[in-house]
Amino acid sequence: MPIDYEKVIAARAVRTTQTYDARDTIIYALGVGMGMDPLDMRQLAFVTGAEPARLPTWASTLAWTRFADLELQLTYAGIVHLEQRMVLHKQVARPKA
């Protein structure tokens, strides 16, 4: 099924509220390779403690929306990912303990 360009451009962004904790932050950091060198204290800051450091790209996972929710009849199987950009307007809040 072809994509209705006008409908996609006119679609409004879905606003959601995401919650996360230290465990979620640590799992993301491990997933992108932090902690592979257990002697590197810079890496360990992202994978240990009650308030681990957060990578800037962590915010992109919080902002993820599902196309299926927009009723645009788009599926991930039919989309080619061409570009991604992220602008951080302020620091991402620390997780609540």
Question: Do residues 81 and 43 make contact, with C-beta atoms less than 8 angstroms apart?
Answer: no
Query: pLDDT for 5-63, tens place per residue?
Result: 787 778 776 677 778 889 999 999 999 999 999 899 999 999 998 889 988 888 777 76
The pLDDT value recorded for residue 69 is 47
Cα angle 6, 8, 10 (rounded to 5 degrees) comes to 65
Which residue reads 């240990």 in tokens? Answer: 48
Within 10 Å of residue 59's Cβ, how many Cβ atoms? Answer: 15
Instruction: Check: pTM over 0.85? Answer yes or no.
Output: no
The pLDDT value recorded for residue 44 is 92
Q: Rounded to whole angstroms, how far apart are CA atoms 86 and 97? A: 26
Query: pLDDT for 78-89, tens place per residue?
Result: 667 667 777 778
Coil/strand/helix, residue 75: coil
